[in-house]
Structure formats: structure tokens, C-alpha cells
Amino acid sequence: MYFQSLTAAQSYTGARPATQADPDHQGVAQGLRSSFQDFAATLKHSEQVAQSSMVGQADPHALVQALAQTELAVETAVIVRNKVVEAYQEILRMPV
């Protein structure tokens, strides 16, 4: 399971150059904001392709590609969420 998650995260990072770190970025907040916007754009694009496919206006190959990108994006978001929760729980376990 861990290997599949790692592969999904690496594939998504390679497929989406907009999520790569920019050397002249404003900070962590700006990077997170752009990642969230990129995630939302990926989901919106996939939804549009799926709707177009339902009425016969989109190529089935484009639909499969959009769904694969969405799957990678969601898996990456879940991995990040799990890491944040794990870090939070680790902080709670620290002695004061």
C-alpha cells in the first residue's frame, strides 16, 4: 500500500509541473495556495471532460486520461492529509 501511495505521489508530481517548487516563491502559504488551486483545477477539468463524454463530445481517451489525473490528485491529497494528521498526533504525544 505504501509503495502504491508513493508511486501515485511521484507520478502526480511528474505529471503536474505546476505543483513543483518554484525557487522564487513567496513562502509555504503561497505554495500551498497554488497546490490547492491546481488540485481544484484538475478536478474541474476532469468533471468537464466527463460531462462532455456523456453527450458524445469528448474522446474516450481524453476521459480516461482525465480520470487518471484525478485519481492521482486525490491520492496525493489523501497522502498529504494523512501526513498532516500523523504530524499533529505526534505533536500531541510530546511531553510538555
Instruction: Kindly state the DSSP code that residue 85 receives in the 8-state scheme.
Output: H
- Average pLDDT estimate for 78-83: 94
The whole-number average pLDDT for the span 83-89 is 95
Strands (DSSP E) along 1-96, which ranges?
none
The residue with cell 510538555 is: 96
CA distance 2 to 21: 23
pLDDT in tens, 19-70: 555 565 567 777 778 888 899 999 999 999 999 988 888 888 888 999 999 9
Q: Do residues 66 and 46 lie in contact, with contact meaning Cβ atoms separated by under 8 Å?
A: yes
Predicted structure pTM score: 0.61
Burial class (CB in 10 A: 0-12, 13-18, 19+), 77: middle
Residue type, 28: V
Extents of the domains making up the chain: 30-96
